[in-house]
Structure 1
Amino acid sequence: MSGNGAARGYGVSSAGERIGFDELAAAIESKLIAAGASPATARVLASNCAACERDGTLSHGVFRVAGYLDSLERGWANGSAEATVDVVSSSFVRIDGDNGFAQPALAAAGAEIDQALADTGVAVIALANTHHFSALWPELESFARDGRVAMAMIASGKLAVVPEGATRPVFSTNPFAFATPVAGGDPVVFDFSTSSMSHGDLQLLRAEGREVPIGTGVDSTGADTRDPETILDGGGIRPFGGHKGAMLSFMIETLAAGLTGGAFTFEIDAEAPEGVHTFRTGQLYIVIDPERGGNEAYLARVRGFIDMLRDAGMDRLPGDRRYANRAEAAEAGIPVTDTIRALLD
């Protein structure tokens, strides 16, 4: 899963050391600024990474900082980018991210997005020429806490996914995310790759010397393998659900690349310098005011729907683990993993 795949506990120090959110974010911000990010960009990215770490999404937390630093230090990504926002119509906003990072570019269009929602109840946001290197759920949770329904998708950049019948990777992990507000509770937010496992989680498992289930990916000959190293080095990840996951990837590529004007994954991968971690790509966001048109009961109806699911035995819904980890971190601090210790040292 893109946003919630890495379980709390990977690499946690045996000493049980903890760190506060603000301290961790400040440490990340300092590293990013030293690598060439503007203070504004560094602040947004640091908060994002620290939030993922706090909520237990370790594959998209401090683990990602090295990739940001690499792209900044190489000059591959623009650390002081200034996004250009073009209001195409009352509901359609295009953003050119100036080869910077996606989260600051999306934030730069906040006023235009709010205006589209006020005018029509819908904002379609086509974001291009940016590097997205994190989970999608932080942005979507923010929309949902403002009472909006939101979804997002990315042509994420690295050719990694081999569907049945293909002889080489043809898709990225193509993350997709959805969020809805809920009356009297936290938003329900899910965020997953259309591959059987996210690229970040696969890298974590490789580093730990762990195997993956058969069906996760193939080696360079197309044979199933349990070895993450073999999948990452010349092989490929399978889509989840066979042809269904593959066609979701097709949909995401056409919307997040074709509709936004960004590059398709095969184009992104071809232009990227050898060994980079971030990719210049496209994202599509759709944000909806669910109460437009006399639908004021929406949040309460979703509450009732969730209550029914829990009553039927679905005692864990998307976001539950993140919120539990967040509450624990607020009380006791964020567990210091080996990755955090290396950052601090």
Structure 2
Amino acid sequence: MADTMRAAVWTGKETGPTLQIEHIPVPQPKQGEVLVKVSACGVCHTDLHVMKGEVAFPSPAVLGHEISGSVVALGPDTTPVRGVDVGAKVVGAFIMPCGQCRQCQRGRDDMCLPFFAQNRLKGTLYDGTTRLHRADGTPLAMYSMAGLAEYSVVPINALAPLHDGIPEAAAAILGCAAFTAYGAVHQTAALQPGETVAVVAIGGVGSSIVQLARAAGAGTIIAVDISDEKLDAAKKLGADHGVNSSTTDSVAAVRELTGGAGVDVAFEVLGRQQTFEQAVKMLTDGGRMVAVGIAAGAATASIEITPLVRRGLRVMGSFGGRTRQDLPAVIDLAASGVFSVEDTVTRTYSLDAAGEAFDALARGEIQGRAVITMAP
């Protein structure tokens, strides 16, 4: 293994949403951690929010928070768990639970206290330090496992083995797009067979929610987006109807398609005030709105109090799945064909073209999900 690796480095919001390829030392795992040779990393809007300065995060940094790859080393005194050992092909989830805090102890990996306090606020792992540095010693913050690099250090609790037969590069999206969707559908919404669903915004996560809602036995599934191309893709993945909100009143259209009642569950996957408020208005009496999209800055949305009370509506946030139990479940669904990584991944970029990938994402050109591969 080489001493150095290529990484896409974000230098800070002052330079805007740009990445530069640098050669930096290969990181070394500590106890409870694993070194992964990265095959691919997904292209997610959350990274783009960071790059645009819409989500606070220290810089310089290496972003990228959903990966696939192979384990090449375990940290000192690290015991293999759940089949994660040297030589194993793995998927890494963006929520990296410590396994020890009170939230992890009660099974709420998605609320891991050190993950939010250390990684999301400071760009470090749980000893308070980053594993990444430039050759001159300058520390580089890590967004999750910092997957936009040829090697990545990942807490072992955030990894699960990848089954044979799942394309390794496309499998990277199982760690965020599919994993986030699984948490929204099964943990937060607790979707029941026959329930009607609206999915507002059909990107990587929205496309995944369509597939998982269909697999969970949802009744009518309505996809909402401003792109006819994305709506057509959603229908191929299992949506019954597509509503173009740029040309149609999406709330009225959803109500019409449900006989005037509205849907049992609306998933909002964009994180914008307008779509957040629309999703609430799409609900039937007793319905649940599951907010999945990360918003820019301190964005807020308004909800009418009286309808919320009288109609017994519920508005719930859903950041992701519960890593140790849900990541293996997501991989199983991909292995069984219930979730298709091949149909969800529509573009592949090289690491050298990582900046182009995020530019295309910012322009709204990527249908489903794109991945960045580390192969030259």
Q: Which TM-score applies when normalising by structure 2?
A: 0.29
Q: Which TM-score applies when normalising by structure 1?
A: 0.30
- Indicate the structure with greater strand content: 2
Higher RCO (CA < 8 A, seq sep 6+): 1
- Indicate the structure with greater helix content: 1
